[in-house]
Chains A and B, each alone.
Chain A
Amino acid sequence: MLEWRRRREPSTAMLWVSPLIAIALTMLLGMIVFTAMGYDGFHAVESIFLTPFLEPQRWADIGVKAAPLVMIALGLAIGFRANVWNIGAEGQYIMGAVAGTGVALLTYEMTGWWILPAMALAGVLGGMAWAAIPAFLRVKLQVSEILTSLMLTYVAVQCLYYLVRGPWKDPDGFNFPQTRMFTADQTLPTVLEGSLVHLGIPVALLLAVVAWFTMEKTTAGFAVKVVGLAPAAARHGGFSAGRTTWATLLLSGALAGLAGLFEAAGPFGQLTPQFPVGYGFTAIIVAFLGRLHPLGIVFGGIVLAATYVGGEIAQSTVRLPQAATGLFQALLLFMLLATDVLVRWKIGWKRRAA
C-alpha cells in the first residue's frame, strides 16, 4: 500500500521540481479535457505549450507578453510573502497606464527625451496611488485588502472607459472610443531593430535581479519574510507589520503601474477599451509558478506568456476558442497548488507497524 508521510523538513528539491510536475500534469489534464470537449486535445496542448518555444519567430512575442507579467508578479510575490494579498494588480496596471497617458496627452505637441521618463514616472505614481487606497484601509482600519483591491479593479476599468469614451477621445479618431496614438517621443523604443522587442523586456529582467537582491541580501527583504512567516517574532524584532503592508502594497502598485504604462506606450501605442487583458490576474499564477522567488518568476512569466502566444496559435491550428487559454492557466494554478503537497509530504510504501 502507498501512504503519505510527512517530511521532517520541507524538501528543497521538490520546491523546484513540483512546478515542473504541475506543468506536465496540466498538459496531460488539458489533453483529456479538450479531447472530451470534442477538440483535438493533443495538438491543442502542443500548440499552447510547445510550438511557442519551438518556433524562433514567436520568441519576441513571448518576451513582449512576459515583461508585464514578470513586472507585476515581482511586486505581488513580495506582498504574498508578507501575507499581503493584493489581488487588484489589474486595477493598478490600468491606472498606471491612465496616469502615463495623461502625461502623453499633455505633452502631445512637445518633443524631448524627457517625455517618456515623465510618462513612466506618472505610471509608477498612478499604480502606487491606486494601491495606496487598500494599504490605507488595511493599516488604519483593518479592512481586508483582498476585497478592496479587487473592487478597485472594477472602478479602474470604468475610469478607463469614461476617459476613452469622453474627455480623452481622439478628436481625429472618427468617434472611436480611443485616445490619440502616442508620438515617437512617447513610445517605448525597441531594443532589437525591426522587432517587437521593446525596452520593457530588459527592464523587467533588471527588476527581477534587483528584487532578488533586495529579498535575499537586505534587511528590508528579511523583514518582509519575517512578517509573513512569524508575525509575533516580527513584532519582537521591531519589524512593523503596518509599515510592511504599506511598503509591499506601494511597491506592487508601482510595478503594476509601470507595467501598464509600458504596455500602453509599447504594444498598444494608445489607450483603448480593450487595454485590460487580465495580466494583473495572470501575474498571480506567475508569482506562484515562480515560487514567489524573483528568478523563478522570470521562468513563470515566460511559461504563462507562452500560453498566451500558444493560445493564439491553437485558435488557428485546432480552432480552440480564445477562452481556452484562461482555462489552461487556471488548470496550471490548480496543479501547482496540488503538487505543493509534495514539498511537505512524500509518498512511500506503507511500512509494517513496528
Chain B
Amino acid sequence: MTTAILVSILMTLVAASTPILLAALGELVAEKAGVLNLGVEGMMLCGAVAGFAVAFSSGSTTLGLAAALLAGVAAAMIFAVLALSLNANQVATGLALTIFGIGASSLIGAGFVGRTVPRLGPVFPAALSEHPWLRVIFGHDILVYLSLALVIGVGWFLRRTRAGLILRAVGENDASAHAIGYPVIAIRYAAVAFGGALAGLGGAYFSLALTPMWADRLTAGRGWIALALVVFSAWKPGRLLIGAYLFGAVMTLELQAKAAGVNWLAPEVLAMTPYLATIAVLTMMSIGRRTGRLDAPACLGKPFSAT
C-alpha cells in the first residue's frame, strides 16, 4: 500500500518537473549564447495551443508534438528578428513575446476550451510501464526520457564539442568571436531557435500529457519559473536537472496536500508556494554567491551589431 502511494508520488514528481526542465534547458542554451529571451512563457503557450490543436484535429499526439516544436521555433524567430536583427531591447522583446503567446493561445484555444485529446502515453510496453513499481523507471512518456537525455546531451555539447565552445564564446565575448570570424548573429539565431523548440515541447507537455484538456493560460507562469531555474543552475545543465526536480517536488507537495484534503492551509496558500519558492531560491542563490554575477555569460542580454 505504501509502495503504491510512494510510486504515485514519484510519478507525479516526474510529470511536474519535465515541462520546466525542457523549457529551462532551451533557455540555458540561448543564454549561453548571450541572449536573454524572457518570452519562455509565451513560447510555451504557443507550443501548448499548437500541439493541442493539431492533436485534436489529427488524432495524433505525435503530430501534435511536432506542431508544438515548430510553433515554439516560430515564436522564437519573432524574438530573434526583433532582438537580434533589429537590435531591439531584449527584455522588452521577451515581454512582448509573452504577451503575444498569451493572446494567441487564448484566441486559438477559445474554440477548444474543455475539449480533450488522447493523452501522450508511456513509451514502454504495458508489462513494464504498468508494473506496480518498475513503472517509476519505465512508465513515462517520450518527453520525460527526451528531457533527461537532453540534460546529458546539452552538457556534453557545451563542454566537450567545438560547436559548444564557439557558442559559449559568442555568449562570453561577442566582439572577439566576431573578430575571429564566427557568425555571431547566426549562432544566436540557432540558440534561440533551440530554446523555442524546447519551450514549445514543454508547453505541449501541459496540453497533451499532464491534462489532455484545453484550459486558458494552462502553463500558469511555469515559463517564468524556468527562467529562474536557469539562474539557480548557474548555467550548468546538471544543476538545472536538480533544480527542476526540486520544483517538481514543491508542486507535487501542493497537489498531494490538496488531494489529502489538508484544510488548515487555504488552497490559495498552497497555490502560491511555487512562486514563493522561486523567490526564496533566487534569494538563497544570491546570498550563497556573494561574488556578483560571475556565473552569467558576460554578454547576456547585450545587443551586438557587426558594424
Contacts and interface: CB of A to CB of B under 8 A. Distances in A.
Nearest to A155: B272
A158 B271 contact: yes
A23 interface: no
B278 interface: yes
A327 B107 contact: yes
B44 to A, nearest CB: 15
Interface string B258-275: 000000001011011001
A83 B148 CA distance: 37
B142 interface: no
B88 interface: yes
Contacts of B224: 147, 150-151
B78 A334 contact: yes
Contacts of B181: none
B293 A334 contact: no
B103 A141 contact: no
Given A141-B286, A341-B87, A330 B266 contact: no
Contact of B276 (A155, A166, A284, A338): A155
A334 B82 CA distance: 8
Nearest to B291: A142
Nearest to B104: A327
B221 interface: yes
B126 interface: no
B199 interface: no
Interface of chain B, main secondary structure: helix
A54 interface: no
Interface in A35-80: 37
B275 to A, nearest CB: 4
A321 B107 contact: yes
B286 A334 contact: no
Given A6-B307, A327-B104, A338 B88 contact: yes
A338 B99 contact: no
B38 A148 contact: no
Name the residue in A150, A151, A323, A340 with the highest tally of chain B Cβ atoms < 10 Å from its Cβ: A151
B77 interface: no
B211 interface: no
B83 to A, nearest CB: 8
A168 B275 CA distance: 24
Interface string A115-149: 00000000000000000010001000111101110
A85 B106 contact: no
Interface string A313-349: 0000000010111111111011001101100000000
B93 A337 contact: yes
B110 A323 contact: yes
B102 A326 contact: yes
Contact of A324 (B91, B107, B227): B107
A319 B221 CA distance: 29
Contacts of B100: 327, 330-331, 333-334
B95 interface: yes
B99 A143 contact: no
B74 interface: no
A326 B227 contact: no
A154 B88 contact: no
Contact of B266 (A166, A324, A337): A166
Contacts of A333: 92, 95-96, 99-100
A171 B129 CA distance: 51
A161 B231 contact: no
Contacts of A150: 221, 224
Interface string B71-115: 000000010011000111101110110011011101100100000
B58 interface: no
A143 B293 contact: no
19 contacts: A137-B279, A137-B286, A143-B285, A147-B282, A151-B221, A151-B275, A152-B279, A154-B220, A159-B268, A161-B268, A323-B106, A326-B99, A326-B106, A327-B107, A330-B96, A333-B99, A338-B81, A340-B88, A341-B86
Q: Which 8 A-B pairs have the closest CB atoms?
A: A326-B103, A327-B103, A330-B100, A162-B268, A323-B106, A337-B88, A323-B107, A333-B96
Interface of B: 38, 78, 81-82, 86-89, 91-93, 95-96, 99-100, 102-104, 106-107, 110, 220-221, 224, 227-228, 231, 266, 268-269, 271-272, 275-276, 278-279, 282-283, 285-287, 292-293, 307
